[in-house]
Amino acid sequence: MNIGMLELLLEPRWSPYLAGAGIGLLLWCSFLFSNKPLGCSTAFSRTSGMIESAFNPEKVKNLEYYTIFPPVIEWQWMMVVGIIIGSFLSSYISGTFQIIFIPHTFYTFFGDNLLFRFLTALIGGILMGLGARWAWGCTSGHGISGLAQLSLASMVSVIGFFIAGIVTAILLYSL
């Protein structure tokens, strides 16, 4: 069966090989046109700086971290916006869009307590954000851009991501 390009884009699940090749092309273009690697965790720390600046601009202005990563809207911040819009459009166009507060896997293992689901997502997100800043990059930054550059720090980080993910899954699903 011959699937045209448009029909391929409308599939609910894409081939991981095609998606990986697309990410590789995107990374190549990112380096070619902007000389910048892909990654998005800095956008979240910049956002927290923007929020804090609304309440205490002098404090943020004097923090060393924000002299390195100023709290401004820049290309990584816009990439996060694009990821959100793109994922919505992809799910909507493919007919798989739905709003789910408690995913099936979470429900199966932990029940339907919405507050517990919210708290685990919040705590997990905070820990992931802190880990990304501690590692000087997120999984996409290290796993895609760093590995493409054969960065030793990225290799160590990605190994750490996999170990932490495996240990966490074993702990969570053995409860």
| Token code pair at residue 29 | 């273009």
Q: Is 1 helix (H, G, I), strand (E, B) or coil?
A: coil
**What's the mean pLDDT in 128-150?**
85
Q: How confident is the model at residue 175 (pLDDT cuts 50, 70, 90)?
A: low
Which comes out higher in pLDDT, residue 123 or 172? 123
Nearest CA to 142 out of 131, 130, 155, 129 is that of 155
Distance between CA 139 and CA 39 in Å, rounded?
Answer: 8
Instruction: Write down the pTM of the prediction.
Output: 0.77
Task: Tell me the CA end-to-end span of the chain in Å, nearest whole number.
Answer: 45
Task: Give per-residue pLDDT as tens, 50-98.
Answer: 999 999 999 999 999 899 989 999 988 999 999 999 999 989 988 899 9
The three-state secondary structure class of 164 is helix
Q: Quote the tokens at residue 89.
A: 């459009």
pLDDT of residue 25: 93
Nearest by Cα to 39 from 71, 82, 79: 79
Sign of the dihedral defined by the CA atoms of residues 23, 77, 124, 120, in that order: negative
Cβ atoms < 10 Å from Cβ of 156: 13
Provide the 10 A C-beta neighbour count for residue 134: 9
74 contacts 46 by C-beta, under 8 angstroms = yes
**Whether pLDDT at 9 is above 80:** no
Please give the C-alpha separations between residue 164 and each of 98, 147, 170, in angstroms, as whole numbers. Answer: 30, 18, 10
